[in-house]
Amino acid sequence: MFKIKICFILFVLCSRALSQQPAPLSLREAIAEGLENNYSILLERNNEAISGNNVTYGNAGMLPNVDLNGRVSGGTNFNASASVAMDWTVFDGLAMFANYDRLKELELIGQENLRATIQQTVAVIMNLYFDIVSKQQELDAYKHILRISRLRVHSANDRFMGGRVSKVDLLSAQVDYNADTASYIRQTEDLRQVKIQLNKLLAREITTDFFASDSIVVDQTLSYGSIYDRALAENPDIVLSRMLVNVAAFNLKAIEGSQYPRLRLTSSYTLANETNRASTFNYGATMTVPLFNGMNINRQIKNAKIELESAEIRREQIRKEIETQVATAYSTYIVYRDLATFEATNLNLAEENLDISMDRYRLGAISAVELRDVQRSYIAATNRLIVAKFNAKIAETSLKLLTGNVW
């Protein structure tokens, strides 16, 4: 009896803890927090800003360099001088224009990397969120089973005290109740661990408790053809591979430009001092014609062409990889979507069987062992449905992520 009271107290404590529900958190709120606070997104935003800052005419080599020079010397005679000098490359075989186009493409790559990071982070947030929803549902199922096991203990105790059953029946009911209590506690801990992972992703206080308020709703409308077309057009990896081909092409143009003559304009203005009584202004132009540099330009051009070819090969490789991922994810999506529909019907049968069995158990029409089997069937059917819906949602999210538009 003392053990029964302890189990009853434990159940009451679990019930009270469950009744004190933490603040709800919707999926939309979780995603909003992630977009604002996630560290990976914040870092990628900085990288995007750097690539944007780099797109300047000066960084491409189109603007002149202007320097102010000063010199002071002492000794027997003190002498000071100052001058302003300008050096401007006005033609370099159009390499500067290729460099500028390359910088603009790198800016686009920075933007696409940010978009990809956002999409990937949102997908992980969604997967963790729906994992929490699944574990909450499993916890509710264990709570329901625990309640039934508790009633079994009370019923077995009353029957034992009345001399209608042996102590073995009471002990069996108590063992089952203790096993269900342990399952409930383990499920509670599993739920807490996933919440910690989501809090980390959202850059929240790690131990913040919450209740996932949304349910798992699987999109039934996804078609292979539309997913395939969008993935090949908008998948971040495919888009980035096309951009990297452009970068390699611009790099080749810049290197090819180094074969042509370079024209530089120079000028300087020197202020008057004790040595030079009058200020002077000089200007001129310098043309450099590359004749021979150890065949290095030819080598660089060959390597640039190979890099361009490699970029094109990687683009095709990534395309084939995305095609494979779409086919695999869509097959998984179809299987679990249909399985979730089937398991929903099966769970309705299991629930009805459990309700009928409880009534029959109260009337003494079935044994505790038979009721226990029905309990196991119910929890198994519940878990199968939850797993099927969760896996279908994961596959759906994976498909949408492949299209570059997960949310």
pLDDT per 10-residue tile (average), the chain, 407 residues: 49 51 92 95 95 95 92 71 90 92 95 95 96 95 91 86 83 91 94 97 95 93 95 95 96 92 91 70 91 90 97 97 96 95 94 92 85 91 94 95 90
Q: What pLDDT does 163 receive?
A: 82
Q: What pLDDT does 244 receive?
A: 96
CATH of 2-402, one of 1.20.1600.10, 3.40.50.300, 1.10.620.20, 3.40.250.10: 1.20.1600.10
Q: What pLDDT does 18 receive?
A: 46
What pTM does this model have?
0.84
Q: What pLDDT does 25 receive?
A: 95
Q: What pLDDT does 34 receive?
A: 95
Q: What pLDDT does 21 receive?
A: 72
Q: What is the 3-state secondary structure (H, E, C) of the chain?
A: CHHHHHHHHHHHHHHHHHHCCCCEECHHHHHHHHHHHCHHHHHHHHHHHHHHHCCCCCCCCCCCEEEEEEEEECCCCCEEEEEEEEEEEEECCCHHHHHHHHHHHHHHHHHHHHHHHHHHHHHHHHHHHHHHHHHHHHHHHHHHHHHHHHHHHHHHHHHHHCCCCCHHHHHHHHHHHHHHHHHHHHHHHHHHHHHHHHHHHCCCCCCCCCEECCCCCCCCCCCHHHHHHHHHHHCHHHHHHHHHHHHHHHHHHHHHHCCCCEEEEEEEEECCCCCCCCCEEEEEEEEECCCCCCCHHHHHHHHHHHHHHHHHHHHHHHHHHHHHHHHHHHHHHHHHHHHHHHHHHHHHHHHHHHHHHHHHHHCCCCCHHHHHHHHHHHHHHHHHHHHHHHHHHHHHHHHHHHCCCCC
**Residues composing the chain:** 407
- Going from N- to C-terminal start, the domains of the chain cover 2-402
| φ/ψ (deg, to 5) at 366 | -130, 160
Q: What pLDDT does 79 receive?
A: 73
